[in-house]
């Protein structure tokens, strides 16, 4: 599956897109990301599945668009 | 008959020119049911940071999500207030200090709806749209903007 | 050091042009401490009346008193909110439907002060300034406007 | 003394300025106006002395600028 990353989180990961295995839930995805990019533990970000922010542990359907969003700072 | 609204692009490349704002105002003179317009403009400040002053903000966005989210905010605010018109523009890319990066424009028959809706839109745009500002300092360092 | 402010003329002959508003916005780009502008615009509505529609409002004022009163409102609002700038313009004479008759413009470091001050100014201007609007109908009858 | 009139009140009086005797208080002035222009009784207006609205009965100093103000309708 494809993961989009923005802002500070994209900087930490080193790129704006990641290709990873299909993870069934956001919690499992988070575990993977924290293992691969330990610096993420020190930064706040939320996860959007199909362009909607999710709270807590949420399912990720096959083919869903997943994105890592640091705190918004528009305006 | 209700007009069906579809997502509109809110993004503008670079700063928002005062002439664009004037044109947007002038476009509303043909709607003679309007009694009041409320406008909010966000302008990039030359804040002092460690090591220098902000000289520009570079905006990026998760554009698809931002447009969908902006559409939902727009619908909710139209449902809540008796508005005639609503316009939202946000910059992408570099906007220098002193330049305009956000333009929110509401119009209604009576002033209160326009004023209240404009304020609510500004708060929701800042809180709910996936847009990020990176402050570029005059020493060419940068840091991610934090909204308060 | 505090700047001493003196009464400024707020009156504009006829309608307020969108280009004047654009110029006023552009003039603030050199003040890089500003983070937000709030603008209110009053526009003349083509309200339906007995016998016709409003085609214009003819404004008159007790000018000396209005300028003194506007100055006092200005000072009070500057004292209450941390504003960078404040501008008030009101039309005199004939303003046609669809045209702008009131332009209130506040700027501050953070948005809240500009938004709250602008709203308060609009309310006080309507309530406290000795200005009168006479609605001219399309049948050339007229009636004195009543503020609600 | 000179009395300024605005809006609807000027229309009723028929002119924007009146020259009247020096009245010492707004109550006495009002009595005179109501007698001279009975139609004024049906219209709301306030009195300004030296560009300040006054409430109730207020003194009028010699040479003061007095104005009759119908309800404001700017904006």
Structural domain containing residue A24 = 2-69
Say how far apart CA B97 and CA B20 lie, in whole Å: 18
Answer whether residue D74 is part of any domain: no
Structural domain containing residue B103 = 11-17+33-143
- The answer to whether D1 touches D64, Cβ cutoff 8 Å, is yes
Which pTM does this prediction carry?
0.96
**Between chains, do C119 and B122 touch, taking CB under 8 Å as contact?**
no
Binned at pLDDT 50, 70 and 90, residue B140 comes out as confident
Burial class (CB in 10 A: 0-12, 13-18, 19+), C109: middle
State the SS3 of chain A: CEEEECHHHHHHHCCCEEECCCCCEHHHHHHHHHHHCHHHHHCCCEEEECCEEECCCCECCCCCCEEEECCCCCC
Say how far apart CA B88 and CA B78 lie, in whole Å: 13
Contacts of C60 in chain D (CB under 8 A): 6-7
Q: What is the pLDDT of residue B15?
A: 98
CB nearest D67 (choices: C62, C68, C146): C62
Q: Beta strand D2-5 with D66-69: parallel, antiparallel or unpaired?
A: parallel
Q: Which residue of D has its CA nearest to C133?
A: D73
Answer whether residue B2 is part of any domain: no
Among B residues 18-57, those touching chain A with beta carbons less than 8 Å apart: 42
CB nearest D74 (choices: C64, C131, C144): C131
Contacts of B34 in chain C (CB under 8 A): 43, 45, 98
* Beta strands per DSSP E along chain C: 11-13, 36-43, 48-49, 52-61, 83-96, 100-108, 131-137, 142-144
Contacts of B98 in chain C (CB under 8 A): 28-32, 34
Answer whether residue B70 is part of any domain: yes
Burial class (CB in 10 A: 0-12, 13-18, 19+), B88: buried
pLDDT digits (tens, 9 = 90+) for D11-44: 999 999 999 999 999 999 999 999 999 999 999 9
The residue-averaged pLDDT of B79-100 equals 98
Answer whether residue A21 is part of any domain: yes
Q: Which residue of D has its CA nearest to C72?
A: D52
Say how far apart CA A48 and CA B67 lie, in whole Å: 14
pLDDT digits (tens, 9 = 90+) for C52-85: 999 999 999 999 999 999 999 999 999 999 999 9
- The answer to whether A18 touches A3, Cβ cutoff 8 Å, is yes
Answer whether residue C139 is part of any domain: yes
Two tokens, residue B99 = 């330049």
Answer whether residue C66 is part of any domain: yes
Q: Is it the case that chain D and chain A have 3 or more CB pairs lying under 8 Å apart?
A: no
The Cβ-side half-sphere exposure at D39, using a 13 Å CA radius, reads: 7
Two tokens, residue A74 = 């528009």
CB nearest B146 (choices: A4, A51, A71): A71
The Cβ-side half-sphere exposure at B53, using a 13 Å CA radius, reads: 10
pLDDT cut 90: percent of chain B above it: 91
Q: Which residues pair with C52 in a beta bridge?
A: C49
Number of domains in chain D: 1
pLDDT cut 70: percent of chain D above it: 100
Give the torsion sign (CA, C132, C137, C142, C147).
negative
Answer whether residue D24 is part of any domain: yes
Answer whether residue C2 is part of any domain: no
ipTM score? 0.95
Residue C77 belongs to domain with CATH number: 3.90.1170.40
Answer whether residue B1 is part of any domain: no
Query: Residue C145, SS3?
Result: coil
Answer whether residue D75 is part of any domain: no
Q: What is the pLDDT of residue C7?
A: 83
**Between chains, do A72 and B131 touch, taking CB under 8 Å as contact?**
yes
Q: CA Rg, chain C, in Å?
A: 16
Instruction: Give the mean pLDDT of chain C.
Output: 96
Say how far apart CA C56 and CA B82 lie, in whole Å: 24
Residue C7 CA, chain-centre distance (Å), reads 15
Q: What is the pLDDT of residue A31?
A: 97
Say how far apart CA A74 and CA B144 lie, in whole Å: 11
Answer whether residue A74 is part of any domain: no
Binned at pLDDT 50, 70 and 90, residue B102 comes out as very high
Helix, strand, coil percent content, chain D, rounded in steps of 5: 30, 25, 45
Answer whether residue C85 is part of any domain: yes
pLDDT digits (tens, 9 = 90+) for B110-126: 999 999 999 999 999 99
Candidates B62, B63, B90: best to mutate against A (most CBs of A within 10 A) is B62
**Between chains, do C125 and D6 touch, taking CB under 8 Å as contact?**
no
Q: Which among C107, C104, C111, C105 is positioned nearest to C84, based on CA atoms?
A: C107
Number of domains in chain B: 1
Residue D13 belongs to domain with CATH number: 3.10.20.30
pLDDT digits (tens, 9 = 90+) for C88-114: 999 999 999 999 999 999 999 999 999
């Amino acid at each position: 599956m494809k993961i989009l990353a923005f802002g500070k989180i994209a900087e930490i990961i080193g790129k704006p897109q990641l290709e990873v295995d299909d993870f069934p839930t956001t919690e499992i995805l988070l575990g993977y990301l924290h293992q691969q990019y330990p610096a993420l533990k020190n930064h706040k970000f939320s996860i959007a599945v199909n362009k909607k922010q999710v709270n807590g542990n949420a399912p990720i359907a096959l083919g869903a668009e997943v994105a890592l969003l640091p705190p918004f700072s528009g305006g | 008959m209700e007009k069906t609204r579809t997502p509109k692009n809110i993004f503008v490349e670079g700063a928002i020119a005062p002439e664009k704002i004037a044109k947007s105002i002038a476009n509303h003179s043909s709607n003679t049911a309007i009694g009041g317009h409320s406008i909010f403009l966000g302008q990039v400040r030359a804040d002092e940071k460690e090591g220098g002053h902000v000289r520009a903000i570079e905006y990026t966005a998760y554009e698809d999500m931002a447009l969908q989210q902006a559409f939902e905010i727009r619908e909710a605010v139209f449902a809540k207030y008796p508005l005639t018109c609503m316009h939202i523009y946000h910059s992408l890319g570099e906007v220098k200090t002193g330049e305009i990066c956000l333009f929110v424009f509401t119009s209604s028959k009576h002033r209160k709806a326009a004023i209240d809706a404009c304020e609510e839109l500004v708060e929701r745009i800042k809180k709910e749209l996936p847009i990020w500002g990176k402050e570029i300092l005059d020493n060419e360092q940068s840091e991610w903007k934090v909204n308060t």
